[in-house]
Amino acid sequence: MLPAYITHHDCLLHDMGEQHPESPARLGAVNDQLLIHGLLDYMHAFDPPLVTQQQLTRAHDDAYLDNFAQTGANVPDDGYVQIDPDTRINAYSYLAAQRAAGAAVMAAELVASGKAPVAFCNIRPPGHHAERAAAGGFCFFNNIAVAILHALDTQGINRLALLDFDVHHGNGSEDILAGDQRVLMCSSFEKDIYPFCGEVPKATNMINVGLPSRSGGKLFREMVAAHWLPALDAFAPEMIFISAGFDAHREDDMGNLGLVEADFAWVTKEIVAVANKHARGRIVSCLEGGYELSPLGRSVAAHVRVLIGAD
């Protein structure tokens, strides 16, 4: 039984323009580093299905879903539709978003059922800024929230944790999951940058820790040890999901926390330890941010190496 690696060509088709940091090349950078480090030899690759409407409606409002589908269907083949100042879609964005969310759902099913011990989804568009009724921050469907609610409703999981170490707070995941006592969400992020929220949690099942600019790996690790780990031990999740964003890397100009590959490997090791203690090792990790291709690929390789036990 090998760890699952889930990706799809459709995720490359979404494009927001040549100069946009959330580019199709991100997936290739990740795949190349996993291949170079030999990590794909230890994983089983899966082609995900498209997400279903029923799966999406657990996380998103019907009116929002209908509007996105209609907008996506009317984009010219060689054009774009602007969603917000930083986010736009092309003619294939709706398909890519369906495939990315479908990958997260497949990962949840594989891991919950014991068909894979852990899963990593190399997918885009990312998801953790997508709220129940709004896109934003390069995100359209909240992949991880869709997968979490699917696991809770259909896979016999009663209690799970979402851990988000992207440099930007997962406001969309918080919007969807706040108040759902089946879920503990722990988020670390840089303060005073997009989406300019998170320091005041929306509900008691949210552990949000904003970090100051240039705080570095030492403070990040101290934060995880002081805030995340005790809450996770008390909650004892049956399964863990990770919004794996790597834009907190010191070479990524989307943020300024100053983390390096060793910090991502360290936090992954701590998450694996929690999963082994409480969740039979079951972890689903989905790619979120990370926009400088070289540090993104290296950081994902460091994360996956620990996640699949190849270190």
> In this structure, what DSSP letter does residue 42 have?
G
Cβ burial of 192 (10 Å; 0-12, 13-18, 19+) is: exposed
Asked if residues 197 and 152 have their Cβ atoms less than 8 Å apart, the reply is no
DSSP state string for 67-85 = HHHHHHHTS-TT--EEEET
Q: How far apart are CA 9 and CA 26, in angstroms?
A: 12
Quote the pLDDT of residue 311. Answer: 72
Quote the pLDDT of residue 38. Answer: 98
pLDDT digits (tens, 9 = 90+) for 4-36: 999 999 999 999 998 999 999 999 999 999 999
Q: Where are the alpha helices (DSSP H) in the chain?
A: 25-36, 53-57, 62-73, 93-112, 143-154, 171-177, 216-223, 229-235, 261-278, 293-307
Beta bridge partners of 188: 209
Residues of the chain with confidence (pLDDT) below 50: none
Asked if residues 116 and 44 have their Cβ atoms less than 8 Å apart, the reply is yes
Q: Is the peptide bond before 85 cis (omega within 30 degrees of 0)?
A: no
Q: Is the peptide bond before 125 cis (omega within 30 degrees of 0)?
A: yes
Among 272, 273, 270, 260, smallest CA distance to 301 is for 260
Which domain, by its residues, includes 188? 4-307
Stated pTM of the model: 0.98
- Total domains in the chain come to 1
Whether 8 is catalytic is no
Cβ burial of 73 (10 Å; 0-12, 13-18, 19+) is: exposed
225: which residues sit within 8 A by CB, 6+ positions away? 270
CATH number at residue 241: 3.40.800.20
Quote the pLDDT of residue 180. Answer: 98
pLDDT digits (tens, 9 = 90+) for 264-306: 999 999 999 999 999 999 999 999 999 999 999 999 999 999 9
Quote the pLDDT of residue 1. Answer: 87
Q: Which of 60, 129, 150, 169 is catalytic?
A: 129
Q: How far apart are CA 191 and CA 198, in angstroms?
A: 8
Q: How far apart are CA 173 and CA 144, in angstroms?
A: 8
